[in-house]
Amino acid sequence: MDIHIDEDTCIGAGQCALTAPEVFTQDDDGYSTVRPGKEDGGGSALVREAARACPVGAVRVTERVG
Ligand code: SF4
């Protein structure tokens, strides 16, 4: 799994960090970032929930193939 946050789209709503706080956090400006080392989701089942929770669809989750 690869998590990508479109920083141009993110409005800093914080839903991702609320939904999956072990994976997402917010920077000083309130915009979301993936915690270091959690770019692969860290095995969290909440990542997809967080992507759905984002009101502007800024969180993209893709599966690694192979
Ligand atoms: S839920 Fe979406 S808009 Fe809100 S902080 Fe997370 S990525 Fe940004």
pTM: 0.90
Q: Are strands 32-34 and 2-5 parallel, antiparallel or unpaired?
A: unpaired
Atom of ligand 1 nearest to the CA of 6: 7
How far is 10 from 46, CA to CA, in rounded Å? 19
Contact call for residues 7 and 31 (beta carbons, < 8 A):
yes
Structure confidence at residue 24 (pLDDT): 97
List the domains of the chain with CATH numbers.
Answer: 2-62 (3.30.70.20)
**Would you say residue 66 has pLDDT above 80?**
no
Closest listed residue to residue 53, CA positions, set 30, 19, 8, 27: 19
3-state DSSP helix/strand/coil % of the chain, to nearest 5: 25, 20, 55
Cα(6) to centroid of ligand 1, in Å? 9
What are the tens digits of pLDDT across the range 15-63? 999 999 999 999 999 999 999 999 999 888 899 999 999 999 999 999 8
